[in-house]
Structure 1
Amino acid sequence: MPNLNVYSVLVVLFLTCWAVMATKENDQIIKENNCETKMGLPCVLETFTAIFKTVSISNKCCSELLTFGKVCQSTLVKRTLENHLFKSLNPTTIIVKNIQT
Structure 2
Amino acid sequence: MASLNVYSVLVVLFLTYGPVMATKENDYIIKENNCETKMGLPCVLEAFTTIFKTGSISNKCYGKLVVLGKVCHSALVKRTLENPLFKDLNPVIIIAKSIQTWNNCLALIDSPSPFA
TMscore range, shorter length: 0.7 to 0.9
The percentage of counterpart residues that share the same residue type is: 77
Matched residues, number: 81
In 2: Cα distance, 1:36 partner to 1:52 partner? 18
Gaps of 5+ in 2: 1-21, 102-116
Name the structure, 1 or 2, with higher relative contact order (CA <8 Å, separation 6+).
Answer: 1
Q: Spell out, residue by residue over 1:22-49, the C-alpha distance to the aligned partner (whole angstroms, 9 max, x if none).
A: 4952211101111011111110111010
The AA in structure 2 aligned to 1:49 is T
Whether the 8 Å CA contact 2:26–2:79 is kept in 1: the answer is yes
Question: Equivalent residue for 1:12?
Answer: none
The AA in structure 2 aligned to 1:36 is E
Q: Higher Cα Rg: structure 1 or 2?
A: 2
Q: Please state whether the residue corresponding to 1:55 is helix, strand or coil.
A: coil
CA 1:23 to 1:83, structure 2 compared with 1: closer, same or farther past 3 Å?
closer
Gaps of 5+ in 1: 1-21
In 2: Cα distance, 1:66 partner to 1:96 partner? 17
Q: Is 1:94 the counterpart of 2:100 in the alignment?
A: no
**For the aligned residues, what is the CA RMSD?**
1.7
Q: Please state whether the residue corresponding to 2:46 is helix, strand or coil.
A: helix
Q: Spell out, residue by residue over 1:25-79, the C-alpha distance to the aligned partner (whole angstroms, 9 max, x if none).
A: 2211101111011111110111010001121111010000000011111101111
TM-score of the superposition, structure 1-length normalised?
A: 0.75
Pairing of 1:43-58 with structure 2 (within 5 A) = 43-58=43-58
Whether the 8 Å CA contact 2:50–2:57 is kept in 1: the answer is yes
